[in-house]
Chains A and B, each alone.
Chain A
Amino acid sequence: MLQVKQLHKSYGKKVILDNISFSVAPGEIIGLVGENGAGKSTLLHILATILQPTTGQVTLDKTPYERKHMPVLRKEIGFVPQEIAIWEEFTVAENMKFFEKLSPVRLSEVALQQLCEAVNLYFWHESVSTLSGGMKRKLNIAISLIHQPKYLLLDEPTVGIDLKSKYEIIDVLKKLATEEDKTIIYISHDMDEITQLCNRVFHLGTDPFYQTLLKKRGKEVVVL
């Protein structure tokens, strides 16, 4: 269970997140929506232990987000950054092996290949530089799953890719939540994706556009 209580984040006088509280149960898929600059990425980066909140409390399975617990917390978190964080000059196999060697979890080459196939990525020996944007995004997700995290945090993982790849990624994420009981928190500006994928939607920011749009599609939105 992920719990966030009275979270506040500001850069100098600029307040980004103010008094945010929510909790997420295992296996849930949460969508984070809101206009640009609303603080979605900041919140996701705090949950991913990349940023520290100014005040407030975050706990993951009752473990508080404190420096001394970071190694334990980070074993449970898989973060998929918005940038494609892979080695462009490597092959798919080399990327997977590279991060497996650094991972706290040991996986065989077969297991790594299966992990790629689970995200519909079948170009094991292909150089990443020759892959399409969609394939790279899938590899971006596969690498984040190597250490078998319980929580998967994704920052716009389908941005700039074709529709087919988008649907494939959505299917993969659904499978991860339902079959492997992974908790997923997902940022997107694509309301079709959000409607299809998420159990619940959290809205950040002041612009009611996304809220109204989702409500029209029958999706309940929690305003943070």
Chain B
Amino acid sequence: MKNILYIRWLHIKRHAVSVLLGLLLPVVATISLVAIFQTVKEDATIPVAIIVEEETQLVKELVREIEENPLYRTHELKERQALNQLQKNDLDSVFIIKKNYEKQVEAGNRNRLIQGYASDMSIAYPSTAEMIQAIVQEQASRYKAIHEITNLHSQFNRQREKTDEQLIVESKQIEADQQLLQTTMDYAGTNTNKSVSANTNNPVEVWAYLVMLGTFFLFDWVLKEKHADVAVRFLYTKQSLKTYLLQHFLLYTTVLFILDVITMCLFEWLYGGMLSLRLLAALLFYRILLNSSAFLISFVMRKVYVYYLVSLTITLLAIVTSLLDIVTASPLFTWLHPTAAFLQGDYWNIWLIINVLCIILISLGKERDDVTSKTIT
């Protein structure tokens, strides 16, 4: 083991820049891409001020619903301050929830409850106003329904069994169960459904593709050392070239897995809520898949530039196919796509099985006595 480490160190220190690039690029690029995406996402939200003139339950609910919409960045300000910012175009629009809002809604009145302000530069005012109207409509409809129930009970001279609050809770439950009033507004590609498609919001997903490319570039040593002139010397060493390559493959797999775990800990510290034993187990299988793929491709290739070209093509293909809904929807996707199993917390896919079998076959295969494929005369 000491010898393997020493020998590998001799190689690595001569290619320190490319090795460091292969090791650090996936982590650095992931952190940068996620930071860029978050900045762009924040800049792309619409700044809206909400001014409340009363602190009732219905008003709080209305404000919460607006705030929960990922397309808006809401600010609670004083009226003068908000209008001042609107004039400066720091805000897209301002909405003032008037006094007696709750009473008016409970009374079934939907007019003049909210006052809206917009400037010449307000591009999202109509859609924001429409969204707020929809929420008010929703709240008013609930109270209208309560009035109808009360009227029906009085028509039939019966006592109501449920209070207003109970009826509201029940109506919300029915809405949620039957999705009667569900509306979703998404930017393309940011839907909240669980998906394995490339998602720049998920650092692990971004990292999964970048580390694939990084691993391919780190494994060019197999090709370079297998086809070096020194390969002939391995006939006279205590281990064959094949054993040498396999030992170093195992060393790379161990070291890279440790670095992967450190990377996941870093992501956990930066983004939180992702580290679990299942992720680490899936990570181990993913690391074996990446290393074995890079090792086998590098093992059979003869020219370095062809190897780099194949590596780039495989990575791009993996990214592109993960973006196509028609591909990701296929039941075979998890089984065939190199990152799908890892991102879903699973372990095996077809490539991992094939790769492991190939590595076993190579390690059990007979040593070649004739190391030179060319004819010598």
B-contacting residues of A (Cβ < 8 Å)? 11, 16, 36-39, 41-42, 45, 48-52, 67, 70, 74-75, 77-79, 81, 83-87, 89-90, 94, 97-99, 101-104, 143-144, 147, 149
Residue of A nearest to B235 (CB): A74
* C-alpha gap A85/B234 in the complex (Å): 11
* B79–chain A nearest beta-carbon distance, Å: 72
Q: Contact: A81 with B229, CB < 8 Å?
A: yes
Looking at the complex, which one of B10, B228, B230, B370 makes contact with A50 (CB distance below 8 Å)?
A: B370
In the complex, chain B residues 215-260 whose Cβ is within 8 Å of any chain A Cβ: 228-239, 244
* C-alpha gap A52/B235 in the complex (Å): 14
Question: Is B182 located at the chain interface by the 8 A CB criterion?
Answer: no
- Known A-B contacts A70-B369, A79-B232, A103-B238; the reply to A37 vs B377 at CB < 8 A is yes
Q: Contact: B229 with A102, CB < 8 Å?
A: no
* C-alpha gap A78/B237 in the complex (Å): 10
Q: Nearest 4 A-B pairs (CB), nearest first?
A: A102-B237, A101-B3, A83-B229, A104-B238
Q: Contact: A87 with B236, CB < 8 Å?
A: no
Q: Contact: B238 with A102, CB < 8 Å?
A: yes
- Interface band, chain B: 20 to 34
* C-alpha gap A7/B322 in the complex (Å): 60
Interface core residue of B6, B15, B233, B235 (most chain A CB under 10 Å): B233
Q: Contact: A41 with B3, CB < 8 Å?
A: no
Q: Contact: B372 with A51, CB < 8 Å?
A: yes
Question: Is B185 located at the chain interface by the 8 A CB criterion?
Answer: no
Residue of A nearest to B239 (CB): A102
Which A residues lie within 8 Å of B370 (CB)? Answer: 50-52
Interface core residue of A52, A98, A147 (most chain B CB under 10 Å): A98
Question: Is B158 located at the chain interface by the 8 A CB criterion?
Answer: no
Which B residues lie within 8 Å of A77 (CB)? Answer: 236
In the complex, chain B residues 255-296 whose Cβ is within 8 Å of any chain A Cβ: none
Which A residues lie within 8 Å of B237 (CB)? Answer: 99, 102-104, 147
Looking at the complex, which one of B228, B236, B238, B377 makes contact with A16 (CB distance below 8 Å)?
A: B377
* B228–chain A nearest beta-carbon distance, Å: 8
* C-alpha gap A85/B371 in the complex (Å): 14
Looking at the complex, which one of A39, A144, A149 makes contact with B377 (CB distance below 8 Å)?
A: A39
* C-alpha gap A98/B225 in the complex (Å): 13
13 contacts between A and B (CB under 8 A): A36-B377, A38-B377, A41-B377, A50-B369, A51-B376, A74-B236, A79-B232, A79-B236, A85-B233, A90-B10, A102-B3, A102-B234, A102-B237
Which A residues lie within 8 Å of B123 (CB)? Answer: none
* A44–chain B nearest beta-carbon distance, Å: 9
* C-alpha gap A83/B231 in the complex (Å): 11
* B8–chain A nearest beta-carbon distance, Å: 10
Which B residues lie within 8 Å of A42 (CB)? Answer: 376-377
Question: Is B14 located at the chain interface by the 8 A CB criterion?
Answer: yes
Which A residues lie within 8 Å of B233 (CB)? Answer: 79, 85, 99, 143-144
Looking at the complex, which one of B229, B236, B371 makes contact with A78 (CB distance below 8 Å)?
A: B236
Which B residues lie within 8 Å of A89 (CB)? Answer: 14-15
* A205–chain B nearest beta-carbon distance, Å: 10
* C-alpha gap A23/B238 in the complex (Å): 28
* C-alpha gap A83/B244 in the complex (Å): 21
Q: A94-B10, A101-B7 are in contact. List 11 more A-B contacts (CB 8 A).
A: A37-B377, A45-B372, A48-B235, A50-B369, A70-B369, A74-B235, A90-B14, A103-B237, A143-B233, A144-B233, A147-B236
Q: Contact: B229 with A84, CB < 8 Å?
A: yes
Question: Is B375 located at the chain interface by the 8 A CB criterion?
Answer: yes
Which B residues lie within 8 Å of A36 (CB)? Answer: 377
Looking at the complex, which one of B235, B244, B376 makes contact with A41 (CB distance below 8 Å)?
A: B376
* C-alpha gap A97/B10 in the complex (Å): 10
Q: Contact: B7 with A98, CB < 8 Å?
A: yes
* A106–chain B nearest beta-carbon distance, Å: 10
Q: Contact: A49 with B14, CB < 8 Å?
A: no
* A126–chain B nearest beta-carbon distance, Å: 14
Which B residues lie within 8 Å of A85 (CB)? Answer: 228-233
Q: Contact: A101 with B236, CB < 8 Å?
A: no
Which B residues lie within 8 Å of A149 (CB)? Answer: 236
Which A residues lie within 8 Å of B229 (CB)? Answer: 81, 83-86
Q: Contact: B7 with A50, CB < 8 Å?
A: no
* B299–chain A nearest beta-carbon distance, Å: 19
Q: Contact: A81 with B238, CB < 8 Å?
A: no
- Known A-B contacts A37-B377, A90-B10, A98-B10; the reply to A50 vs B371 at CB < 8 A is yes
In the complex, chain B residues 327-377 whose Cβ is within 8 Å of any chain A Cβ: 369-372, 375-377
Interface core residue of B3, B230, B231, B370 (most chain A CB under 10 Å): B230
Q: Contact: A49 with B376, CB < 8 Å?
A: no
* B222–chain A nearest beta-carbon distance, Å: 15
Q: Contact: B232 with A50, CB < 8 Å?
A: yes
* A115–chain B nearest beta-carbon distance, Å: 15
- Known A-B contacts A45-B376, A98-B10; the reply to A50 vs B235 at CB < 8 A is yes
* B56–chain A nearest beta-carbon distance, Å: 76
* C-alpha gap A157/B370 in the complex (Å): 21
Which A residues lie within 8 Å of B371 (CB)? Answer: 50
* C-alpha gap A138/B138 in the complex (Å): 90
Which A residues lie within 8 Å of B10 (CB)? Answer: 87, 90, 94, 97-98
* B46–chain A nearest beta-carbon distance, Å: 57
